[in-house]
């Protein structure tokens, strides 16, 4: 999926020392449920990194209904941040909240796997 120059520029303009934050749009809501705090570790704005962010955003909009925040951390710009969450591959999604911490490696294109990994859907049983 191609990203226009405008949206790529928009993503770069939100850069703050190698991290970019994205969250659901709209006025602040009263939190009746836990806020999902997600970090997506990438290595530059590669097609895989962009695809991972787009897939994550779509999943969050469909399943978390505005109760999430996404922080994109570019390890090319801030490599020292990889140690805190023990990142060994990119892209990696880290669910910081709700606890326990969960990690998913890859471009997040397998929606079912991501939903199970985030505990949004139970894993399929053995038949």
Average pLDDT over residues 94-123: 95
Domain boundaries in the chain? Answer: 16-23+35-117
Determine the length of the chain: 127
* 98 burial via Cβ count (<10 Å: 0-12, 13-18, 19+): middle
* Cis peptide leading into residue 75 (ω within 30°): no
State how far the Cα of 35 lies from the Cα of 59, in Å rounded to an integer.
15
Task: Report the 10 Å Cβ neighbour count for 86.
Answer: 10
pLDDT at 79: 95
State how far the Cα of 52 lies from the Cα of 49, in Å rounded to an integer.
5
The structure's pTM equals 0.73
Architecture of domain 16-23+35-117: 3-Layer(aba) Sandwich (3.40)
pLDDT at 19: 54
Task: Provide CB contacts within 8 A for 127, sequence distance 6+.
Answer: none
pLDDT at 68: 96
Residue 26 pLDDT exceeds 90? no
Determine contact, residues 59/91, Cβ cutoff 8 Å.
Answer: no
Residues 29-78: pLDDT tens digits? 454 555 999 999 999 999 999 999 999 999 999 999 999 999 999 999 99
pLDDT at 34: 55
Q: What is the CA radius of gyration of the chain?
A: 15
* Cis peptide leading into residue 91 (ω within 30°): yes
């Amino acid at each position: 999926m191609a990203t226009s120059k405008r949206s790529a520029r928009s993503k770069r303009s939100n850069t703050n020392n190698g991290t970019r934050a994205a969250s659901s749009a709209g006025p602040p809501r009263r939190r009746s449920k836990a806020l999902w705090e997600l970090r997506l570790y990438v290595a530059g704005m590669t097609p895989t990194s962009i695809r991972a962010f787009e897939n994550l955003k779509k999943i969050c909009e469909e399943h978390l209904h505005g109760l999430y925040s996404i922080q994109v951390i570019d390890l090319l710009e801030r490599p020292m941040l990889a140690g805190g969450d023990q990142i060994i591959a990119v892209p990696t999604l880290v669910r910081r909240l709700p606890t326990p911490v969960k990690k998913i490696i890859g471009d997040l294109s397998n929606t079912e796997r991501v939903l199970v990994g985030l505990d949004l859907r139970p894993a399929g049983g053995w038949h």
